[in-house]
A and B are shown apart, each in its own frame.
Chain A
């Protein structure tokens, strides 16, 4: 059974903290993605990666960075967390031109 695992279901962080969200997939997929979901805005792409050490900005990359040192792992980093980054964060992976598989999501609250 295919699996995308996000390290935390719920996180509470303070404003200004550096936050790491981790994602691991076991399907040997080349592509990995980070989205955030907000009410009325759908899923918005933050960053994606199509290979190890390769990354591209999505639609809303400001305030975020990513790291992909190994094929199975894609990390999202909030350099200095702010309250407007309170959201549901979703990691996904895929092969080219096939469906993406999502993790269970991380609900991040920045206080």
Chain B
């Protein structure tokens, strides 16, 4: 059973516009959420995180929103740049469990 779901396998956005990547989870014990970016043949790199005590966290062009009641988080990238083209994974963990559960990823393509 997939506890972290990214239902959109791919997304295309024009350069300069907003990219919105979505993630849903089923486990109400998750209390820490992360977004990673991955280029081909490289390991994922950490982008931004949010704990369950917040509903928004911002870092430069990246903002993560958390809706606990809907068990939904989203990553907003504004403005999108061609270098943002990559696969984006959301991940979640529950306190005391040590491990991170990842979604299946969304491939973002930013068109110049």
Contacts and interface: CB of A to CB of B under 8 A. Distances in A.
Interface residues of B, number: 24
Per DSSP, chain B at the interface is loop
B103 A48 contact: no
Interface in B59-112: 89, 91, 93, 95, 98-105
A45 B101 contact: yes
Contacts of A35: 102
A99 B40 CA distance: 21
Nearest to A30: B98
14 contacts: A40-B9, A42-B89, A42-B102, A43-B89, A43-B102, A96-B98, A97-B32, A97-B93, A99-B46, A100-B46, A100-B100, A102-B43, A103-B43, A105-B43
